[in-house]
């Protein structure tokens, strides 16, 4: 695995070091390439769950492992290592740090946080430094959500995709994030610690050791994702026990892109909970067209759709995959009713889904391109899986996750 998606700020961007010892912070412009930002956006929009704050969604590395997508941690690894080097170099603590947390976090309309430091709770005192990598741009992909420091310069950071903001996690860098007014502000956030007992690698390796990817057993398509508990996907979270209002965020993301779905078996039993249906084989629907290919569950379907919206516009021209005959059929009357019933259950408030995921982005859909993307997703995913299986024994032996 290469680190081609990570730029050297001294070569392709700018590095603004804030020498103020009272409020030490570092800005790296154009640190991440546009395509790497888009790849991480694809992972987040395919895999995220309800986050730790209102109107916030997150994708952690441990969650990827738990939902049978451990291979998707690989694109994070070069970034983690390069950022760790930058933090150690800038703050003069070479070889002293461990990565405490790595996660994708998106803030949607209404999300905000007041003045705080990142170590402001007893259970967060291990955090020494933070790095916030912006995967999309202010004024283009979202409005509001600017990062403000209480003291020192810059007082406000206006990000573009690929920029990184690094700062101490203590009271020297108290900050706030203003309310998101539109769109989805997407970041990759890391915290670093000097406390080895909080080393994220050790915890991740423990999970990977127990995962089927560390087994000698062979399965057909072992990389197919499997959803976590339904309550992790229901927004707002306080409605996740009754499901009387709100929406399933996986179905919400499909909805804002203009997609629906139905079961392989065109019968929706009234006794079957919709959350169980989402674990069953599904077909993708766009308008009156049904793509007559099975997806193993809602996460599999969502991953392929989001992959299409990442790769479709650019990669298909370079695709070496030969398009198979399309298998698109018209939605039947019984399927139309099933689609309606599933939408009623999974999108109790579709207007809210459109508000929260406004600006979700879209590409012009055509089934010819989508057929190719299904093959591209298979190749991308199986390659990452094989790469993970190859590397895992060394990670376990060294109790450290690395990519070189």
- The 3-state DSSP class for residue 322 equals coil
Residue 274 has a pLDDT of 85
Give the C-alpha separation, 375 to 315, whole Å. Answer: 12
CA gap 93, 97 in Å, rounded:
7
Alpha carbons 220 and 138: distance in angstroms, whole number: 43
Closest to 237 in 3D by CA, of 341, 356, 145: 356
Residue 345 CA to chain centroid, in angstroms?
A: 25
| 3-state secondary structure (DSSP) of residue 326 | coil
- DSSP assignment, residue 332? P
Q: What CA–CA distance (Å, rounded) separates 48 from 59?
A: 5
Sign of CA dihedral 347, 350, 356, 357: positive
What is residue 245's DSSP assignment? S
Q: Tell me, what's the pLDDT at 194?
A: 97
The span from the CA of 404 to the CA of 221, in Å, is 26
- Of 94, 78, 111, residue with least CA distance to 188: 78
Please list the pLDDT of the chain residue by residue as tens digits (404 residues).
446 678 765 433 345 555 567 999 999 999 999 999 999 999 999 999 999 899 999 999 999 999 999 999 999 999 999 999 999 999 999 888 999 999 999 999 999 999 999 999 999 999 999 999 999 999 999 999 999 999 999 999 999 999 999 999 999 999 999 999 999 999 999 999 999 999 999 999 999 999 999 887 767 899 999 999 999 999 999 887 888 899 999 999 999 999 999 986 655 555 568 889 999 999 999 999 999 899 999 999 999 999 999 987 566 654 454 444 568 999 999 999 999 999 999 999 999 999 999 855 566 888 888 988 999 999 999 999 999 999 999 999 999 999 87
Contact yes or no for 181/149 (Cβ under 8 A):
no
CA dist 290 and 308 (Å) reads: 16
Token pair for residue 343?
Answer: 């939408």
**Number of other residues whose CB lies within 10 A of the CB of residue 395:** 18
Q: If DSSP codes are grouped into helix, strand and coil, which group holds residue 234? A: strand
- Strands, E assignment, 206-273: 234-235, 247-248, 260-263
The reported pLDDT for the residue numbered 243 is 85
């Amino acid at each position: 695995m290469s680190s081609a998606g990570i730029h050297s700020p001294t070569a392709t961007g700018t590095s603004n070091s804030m020498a103020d010892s009272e409020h030490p912070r570092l800005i790296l412009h154009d640190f991440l390439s546009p395509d790497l930002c888009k790849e991480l956006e694809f992972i987040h929009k395919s895999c995220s769950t309800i986050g730790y704050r209102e109107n916030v969604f997150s994708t952690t590395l441990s969650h990827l492992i738990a939902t049978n997508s451990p291979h998707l941690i690989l694109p994070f690894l070069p970034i983690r290592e390069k950022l760790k080097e930058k933090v150690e170099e800038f703050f003069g603590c070479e070889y002293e740090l461990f990565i405490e947390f790595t996660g994708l976090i998106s803030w949607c309309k209404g999300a905000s946080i007041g003045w705080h430091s990142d170590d402001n709770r007893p259970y967060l005192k291990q955090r020494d430094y933070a790095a916030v990598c912006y995967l999309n741009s202010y004024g283009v992909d979202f409005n509001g959500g600017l990062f403000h420091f209480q003291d020192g310069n810059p007082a406000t950071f206006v990000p573009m995709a690929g920029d990184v903001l690094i700062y101490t996690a203590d009271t020297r860098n108290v900050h706030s994030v203003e309310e998101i007014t539109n769109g989805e502000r997407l970041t990759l956030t890391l915290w670093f610690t000097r406390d080895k007992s909080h080393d994220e690698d050790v915890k991740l390796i423990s999970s990977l050791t127990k995962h089927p990817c560390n087994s000698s057993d062979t399965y057909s398509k072992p990389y197919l994702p499997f959803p976590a508990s339904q309550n992790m996907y229901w927004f707002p979270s306080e409605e996740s026990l009754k499901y009387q209002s709100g929406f399933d965020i996986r179905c919400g993301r499909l909805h804002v892109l203009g997609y629906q779905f139905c079961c392989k078996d065109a019968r929706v039993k009234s006794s079957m909970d919709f959350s169980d249906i989402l674990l069953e084989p599904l077909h993708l629907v766009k308008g009156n067209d049904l793509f007559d290919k099975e997806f193993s569950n809602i996460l599999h379907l969502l991953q392929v759709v989001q992959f299409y919206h990442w790769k479709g516009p650019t990669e298909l021209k370079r695709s070496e995959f030969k398009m198979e005959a399309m298998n698109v059929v018209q939605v039947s009357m019984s399927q139309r009713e099933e689609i309606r019933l599933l939408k009623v259950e999974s999108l109790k408030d579709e207007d809210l889904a459109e508000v929260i995921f406004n600006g979700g982005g879209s590409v012009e859909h055509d089934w010819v391109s989508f057929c190719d993307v299904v093959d591209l997703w298979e190749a991308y995913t199986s390659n990452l899986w094989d790469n993970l299986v190859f590397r895992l024994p060394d990670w376990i032996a060294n109790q450290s996750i690395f990519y070189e």
